[in-house]
Amino acid sequence: MSTEAKILETYPVATIATIGRHAGETVTIRGWLYNKRESGKLLFPIFRDGSGLIQGVVAKNAVAAEVFDAVKTLTDESSVIVTGKVRADQRAPGGYELDVQNVEVVQRVAEDDPFPITRKEHGVDFLMEHRHLWMRTPRQAAILRVRSEIEKAMHDFFDDRGFIRTDPPILTPAACEGTSTLFPVDYFDEQAFLTQSGQLYIEATAMALGKVYSFGPTFRAEKSKTRRHLTEFWMVEPEVAYLGLDGLMELAEQFISHIVAGVLERRRADLQVIGRDIAKLEAVKPPFPRITYDEAVKMLQEGHSKGALETKFEWGGDFGSPDETYISSQFDRPVMVHRYPAQVKAFYMEPDPKRPELALCCDVLAPEGYGEIIGGSQRMSSYDLLVQRIREHDLPIEAFKWYLDLRKYGSVPHSGFGMGIERAVAWICGLEHVRETIPFPRMLYRLYP
């Protein structure tokens, strides 16, 4: 077989993640050299193929002289096709090693221009500037596998419960979450904006299909430089007709529990590579504590008198990051805070009939100080009140004509929430910053690569 044909061969293919199925057999791995060490007549190259890492053993007397020399001088991240026999080894990190018979170098990284990411410490700016290469390193690759698992678990969750996925537009004529964080786009002769949330549109698809969800990129032009904010992030949003706030909280609680369980079941090894404290995730089971905004405020004020919080929180304000961090660190699992003052929330939320100054809404705060991962609410069902709110929020009423139609033609109570995938990944992986949760993060000062 020509080298070309071998490179592109699709079957049979062993991947490192599933190499255990081939114990005792000779397999071919197509990947890259991660790194290597040497001990006399033995070379120990570590190969990666995107699914994991495996150590090879190259014995001088077991391979052709050219192969031994090629591996001995091989540069990190050179691409290789490796043939060898799989041997179970309890001391090996993945449980297996490869007794190498042959190594074909597909492309050799030049000695005078080596792979920039080395095993020494690099600064964050350097890593971000080399994000396209940084993501090859084991911890970063593990995070991206966990992200993919979270997305799969989320699709399965909704699919199993009869939700229909509907995709809202990204180019929109108006704000959903408030005008201060819109990215403007020239749209021929009109002004358009990148969407902040698919919500308003999936309220329409929910009236057509009952239970729907969307998953797509959303944009916020926030000038905030925090470890929780991206300017472009992926939001998953369910929206359900005939659902109230209590049902919504139940849905959120089941949703998060399902995702965490899926990651624990299928991505445990990756969590270990990342260094996640797995016991903390195992505690994430329903029921989640539910507290009102009023109770949360009390908690913050107590925190202030204990000296844990600098400023005294006053009723009526929105929680900042330190407040959320403090509240969430009081619990070992996500906490649901409901019924915030309507004045700090979006225009579309249904008021609490018992106390109309409150909105029937809920934020889910992740434990270990991660703060808000979900925001959701029951939606306003009255046409007249919605018109009033749109006016109060200084939003252009013409752009919302279609949205108001939903309250004219068979309006029903309905609810939904949005979860930013990156915040969920950061929490589940135990990361300090959301910049590592997405292949190419977009932030206030980061548009490259």
Q: Kindly list the residues in this chain that would bind ligand 4AD in the complex (CB under 6 A).
A: 176-177, 197, 199, 220, 222, 229-230, 233, 235, 237, 372-376, 416-420, 422-423
The separation between CA 369 and the C-alpha centre of its own chain, rounded to angstroms, equals 17
Angle at 124 between CA 120 and CA 126, to 5 degrees: 75
Task: Tell me how far apart the alpha carbons of residues 335 and 328 are, in angstroms, rounded to a whole number.
Answer: 6
Q: 407: which 2 tokens?
A: 């309250």
Q: Which of 324, 319, 377 is nearest to 346 (CA)?
A: 377
For ligand 4AD, the closer CB: 149 or 372: 372
Rg, Å, the chain Cα set: 26
Task: Tell me how far apart the alpha carbons of residues 266 and 258 are, in angstroms, rounded to a whole number.
Answer: 12
The listed partner (ligand 4AD, Mg ion, none) that binds 441, CB under 5 to 8 Å by sort, is none
The listed partner (Mg ion, ligand 4AD, none) that binds 176, CB under 5 to 8 Å by sort, is ligand 4AD
Q: 255: which 2 tokens?
A: 């949703």
Environment class of 105 (CB within 10 Å of its CB; exposed 0-12, middle 13-18, buried 19+): middle
* Closest CB to Mg ion: residue number: 375
The listed partner (ligand 4AD, Mg ion, none) that binds 177, CB under 5 to 8 Å by sort, is ligand 4AD
The listed partner (ligand 4AD, Mg ion, none) that binds 235, CB under 5 to 8 Å by sort, is ligand 4AD
Q: Which of 3, 32, 185, 7 is nearest to 108 (CA)?
A: 32
The listed partner (Mg ion, ligand 4AD, none) that binds 149, CB under 5 to 8 Å by sort, is none
The listed partner (ligand 4AD, Mg ion, none) that binds 45, CB under 5 to 8 Å by sort, is none
**252 neighbors 362 (Cβ within 8 angstroms):** yes
Reply yes or no: is the peptide bond before residue 12 cis, omega within 30 of 0. yes
> Measured from the CB of residue 246, what is the shortest distance to Mg ion in angstroms?
19
The listed partner (Mg ion, ligand 4AD, none) that binds 373, CB under 5 to 8 Å by sort, is ligand 4AD
> Measured from the CB of residue 189, what is the shortest distance to ligand 4AD in angstroms?
28
Q: How far is CA 47 from CA 56, 146, 303, in A?
A: 7, 21, 50
Does residue 198 touch Mg ion according to CB under 5 A? no
Q: How far is CA 221 from CA 174, 181, 218, 424, in A?
A: 14, 4, 10, 20
Number of residues that bind Mg ion (CB under 5 A): 1
> Measured from the CB of residue 232, what is the shortest distance to ligand 4AD in angstroms?
8
Question: Which amino acid type is present at position 228?
Answer: R
What angle, 0 to 180 degrees and rounded to 10, lies between the N-to-C axes of helices 321-328 and 293-305? Answer: 90
> Measured from the CB of residue 247, what is the shortest distance to ligand 4AD in angstroms?
14
> Measured from the CB of residue 208, what is the shortest distance to ligand 4AD in angstroms?
17
List CB contacts of 12: < 8 A, sequence separation 6 or more: none
- Residues numbered 347 to 386 that lie near Mg ion (CB under 5 A) are 375
**410 neighbors 240 (Cβ within 8 angstroms):** no
Residue tagged 């419960």 (tokens): 161
The listed partner (Mg ion, ligand 4AD, none) that binds 229, CB under 5 to 8 Å by sort, is ligand 4AD
> Measured from the CB of residue 246, what is the shortest distance to ligand 4AD in angstroms?
16
> Measured from the CB of residue 374, what is the shortest distance to ligand 4AD in angstroms?
5
**306 neighbors 332 (Cβ within 8 angstroms):** no
> Measured from the CB of residue 160, what is the shortest distance to ligand 4AD in angstroms?
20
For ligand 4AD, the closer CB: 237 or 436: 237
Task: Tell me how far apart the alpha carbons of residues 313 and 302 are, in angstroms, rounded to a whole number.
Answer: 10
Question: Which amino acid type is present at position 259?
Answer: I
> Measured from the CB of residue 363, what is the shortest distance to Mg ion in angstroms?
6
Beta strands 171-172 and 232-241 are unpaired
The listed partner (Mg ion, ligand 4AD, none) that binds 195, CB under 5 to 8 Å by sort, is none
For ligand 4AD, the closer CB: 78 or 328: 328
For ligand 4AD, the closer CB: 334 or 375: 375
> Measured from the CB of residue 345, what is the shortest distance to Mg ion in angstroms?
8
The listed partner (ligand 4AD, Mg ion, none) that binds 420, CB under 5 to 8 Å by sort, is ligand 4AD
Q: Which residues bind Mg ion (CB under 5 A)?
A: 375
